[in-house]
Amino acid sequence: MLIIPGPASIELGNKIANLLEYKSYPVEHRLFPDGESYIKIHPELKDETAVIVQTTASDPDRRLMQLFMMTKTAKDYGANRIISLVPYLAYTRQDKRFQKGETLSLDVTLALLEKTGISDLIVFDIHNEKSLRLIEKDHKIKVHNLSAIPILANYLKKNNYENAYSLSPDKGAIHLAKKADSVLNGGHGYFEKQRDKKTGEIEMAVKDLDVEGKKAIVFDDIISSGGTMAKAVQGLKNQGASKVAAACSHALFMKGAEEKLIKAGVDLILTTDTTVNPYTQISISETVAEYLKKL
């Protein structure tokens, strides 16, 4: 098995290779003046299993193009199995046609990955597992959807949030709160969230939750603009929670997200290294290394 860290995930790829005691083979990469990527990979891949590690946060189009270039080149050089670890897979939120004429971007992404030769795709906390499984059926790719929630919950348990109440920002994500609760044991619930499909504006109804004087944690797959998480944090503070942490697998943190969370009164922001960002406190590398041993 050869570990190939792509330009977006050099540190994570190296960590995984170290844990598995494999050599890592970073790609040579640069940008042409017009913004196109140049990619050169380790070519001795005949009959090998290549594990290509590339997240697709911040500049998702470029990161995906680089991923396609790496996987196709690995295929060209005779790799017999290509596993792509894409801890944050972009374009997964558009997994249904909410309005006529819309693109199913998750479907397009899987189609392109299949075409470039990958057989296995490892992701973390995909936005909607049900849609993924429906779309996956049309492709010859096996998608392994791992979760960072137990890693986040265990960290919080050891850092003053034992027995905290776990919440998800909407009913569809209740599985995140349930998973966390199985580690934290403080109960779980969800908010009622509605997003305007045209404007993206969020409406969040905060029902009565049993959080007065308690610590609470909101778990989400993604924090992007921070709007969803800020509303949830604010709601919990208004209901008397003593401390509120915001935890997510993928921190995209668009401009202003941190300020929104601070203004809402967040006490702790916790995330992983599925994306490269200044808030990362914990790594998914051990979970991935253990999983790769079984593949």
Q: Which residues are catalytic?
A: 193
Candidates 95, 220, 267, 273; binder of ligand R5P (CB under 6 A) is 220
Using CB under 6 A, count the residues that bind ligand R5P. 13
Residue 259, exposed/middle/buried by CB under 10 A (0-12, 13-18, 19+)?
A: exposed
Which CB, 25 or 124, lies closer to ligand R5P?
Answer: 124
**What are phi and psi for residue 211, nearest 5 degrees?**
-120, 0
- Answer yes or no: are the C-beta atoms of 167 and 218 closer than 8 Å: yes
Amino acid at 282: I
Which CB, 49 or 228, lies closer to ligand R5P?
Answer: 228
Rounded to a whole number of angstroms, the minimum distance from the CB of residue 226 to ligand R5P is 5
CB environment 167-204: b (16+ within 10 A), e (fewer): bbbbeebbebbebbbebbebbbbbbebeeeeeeeebeb
- Decide if residue 222 touches ligand R5P (CB under 6 A): yes
- Answer yes or no: are the C-beta atoms of 189 and 177 closer than 8 Å: yes
C-alpha closest to that of 252 among 63, 105, 28, 70: 63
Which residues between 172 and 191 bind ligand R5P (CB under 6 A)? 173
Stretch that binds ligand R5P, among 25-33, 59-67, 145-153, 215-223 (CB under 6 A): 215-223
Candidates 55, 66, 131, 228; binder of ligand R5P (CB under 6 A) is 228
Question: CA geometry: angle at 229 spanning 224 and 235, to 5°?
Answer: 160
Stretch that binds ligand R5P, among 3-11, 57-65, 223-231, 269-277 (CB under 6 A): 223-231
Site string for ligand R5P, 229-268 (x = CB under 6 A): x---------------------------------------
Question: Could you say which DSSP state residue 24 is in?
Answer: B
- Decide if residue 13 touches ligand R5P (CB under 6 A): no
Quote the CA–CA distance of 150 and 281 in Å, as a whole number: 14
Rounded to a whole number of angstroms, the minimum distance from the CB of residue 214 to ligand R5P is 23
Helical ranges in the chain per DSSP H: 10-20, 60-76, 105-116, 129-136, 149-156, 174-184, 227-238, 257-264, 285-294
Which CB, 29 or 93, lies closer to ligand R5P?
Answer: 93
Site string for ligand R5P, 151-170 (x = CB under 6 A): ------------------x-
- Decide if residue 225 touches ligand R5P (CB under 6 A): yes
Which CB, 86 or 176, lies closer to ligand R5P?
Answer: 176
Rounded to a whole number of angstroms, the minimum distance from the CB of residue 285 to ligand R5P is 24
Lookup result for tokens 């209901």 = 239
Which residues between 91 and 150 bind ligand R5P (CB under 6 A)? 127
Contacts to ligand R5P by CB under 6 A: 127, 169, 173, 220-229
